[in-house]
Amino acid sequence: MTTTSSTSGRRSPRVPIVVTIIVLAALVIGFFIFASLYTDYAWFAQLGFQQVLTTRWIAGTLMFLAGFLGMAIPVFLSIGLAFRYRPVYAKLNSQLDRYQQVIEPLRRAVMIGIPVVLGIFAGLSTSGRWSMVLEYFNRTPFGKTDPQFGLDIGFYVFELPFWRSIVAYSSAVVLIAGLAALAACYLYGALRFGGREVRISRAARIQLAVTAALYIALQAVSLWLDQYAALTKSNSLITGAQYTEVNAVIPGREIMAGIAAIVAILFIVTAVIGRWRISIVGTGLLLVAAIVIEGIYPWIVQRLQVKPSERTYESAYIERNIKATRDAYGVSDVKEQNYDATTEASSGALAQDAQTTANIRLIDPKIVSDTFSQLQQYRQYYQFPDELDVDRYDVKGETEDTVIAVRDIDLDGLSSAANTQYNRAFVYTHGYGVTAAFGNQRASDGKPVFLESGIPSNGALGDFQQRVYFGETSPAYSIVGAPKGSKDVELDYPSGSDDDNGGNATTTYSGDGGPSVGNFFNRLVYAAKFQSEQVLLSDAVNKDSQILYDRDPITRVQKVAPYLTVDSDAYPAIVDHRIQWVVDGYTTSDAYPYSQSQSLSDSIAGSESSAYRTDQVNYIRNSVKATVDAYTGKVTLYAWDTKDPVLKTWEKIFPTSVKSVSSMSAELLDHVRYPTDLFKVQRSILGTYHVTNANSFYSGDDAWNTPQEPTTTGSTDTDASAADTSTTTNALGAQTTTTASKANLQDPYYLTMKVPGQETAYNLYTTYIPQQSAGANNRNVLTGYLAADSDAGGAGKGKKASGYGKLTLLTMPKTDNIPGPAQVQNLFNSDTTVSQELNILKRGNSTVKQGNLLTLPVGGGFLYVQPVYVQSTSSGSYPLLQKVLVAFGDKIAFEDTLDEALNSLFGGDSGAAAGDSDASGSGSDSGSSGSGSSDSGSDSGSGSTGGSTGSGTTDNDALQQALSDANDALQDRQQAYADNDLVAAAEADKRLQEAIEAATAAEDGS
Distance, CA of 548 to CA of 634 (rounded, Å):
12
pLDDT at 195: 63
Distance, CA of 679 to CA of 748 (rounded, Å):
8
pLDDT at 432: 96
| DSSP character at residue 929 | P
pLDDT at 918: 78
pLDDT in tens, 474-519: 999 999 999 998 999 999 998 766 556 667 899 999 999 999 999 9
Q: 281-300 burial, b if ≥16 CB within 10 A, otherwise e?
A: ebbeebeebeeebbeebbee
pLDDT in tens, 199-224: 788 888 999 999 999 999 999 999 99
pLDDT in tens, 854-909: 999 999 999 999 999 998 877 778 999 999 999 999 899 999 999 999 999 998 88
Q: What is the DSSP string of 710-750?
A: TTS-S--TTT----SEEEEE-TTS-EEEEE--SSSBPPPEE
pLDDT at 740: 40
3-state secondary structure of 804: coil
Question: Where do runs of H (alpha helix) occur along 590-675?
Answer: 600-605, 645-653, 666-671
N-term to C-term CA, the chain: 115
| DSSP character at residue 597 | P
Q: What phi and psi values does residue 895 have, to the nearest 5 degrees?
A: -135, 175
Residues of the chain scoring pLDDT < 70: 1-15, 88-105, 194-196, 496-502, 607-613, 713-743, 773-778, 843-844, 920-957, 959, 973-974, 976-980, 982-983, 985-986, 989, 999-1006
Which amino acid is present at 147?
Answer: P
Distance, CA of 981 to CA of 987 (rounded, Å):
10
Distance, CA of 206 to CA of 198 (rounded, Å):
15
Distance, CA of 358 to CA of 912 (rounded, Å):
8
Taking a C-beta distance cutoff of 8 angstroms, is the pair 622, 587 a contact?
A: no
3-state helix, strand, coil in the chain (%, to 5): 45, 20, 35
Q: Is the peptide bond before 645 cis (omega within 30 degrees of 0)?
A: no
Distance, CA of 693 to CA of 685 (rounded, Å):
15
pLDDT at 96: 59
Distance, CA of 992 to CA of 999 (rounded, Å):
11
pLDDT at 935: 43
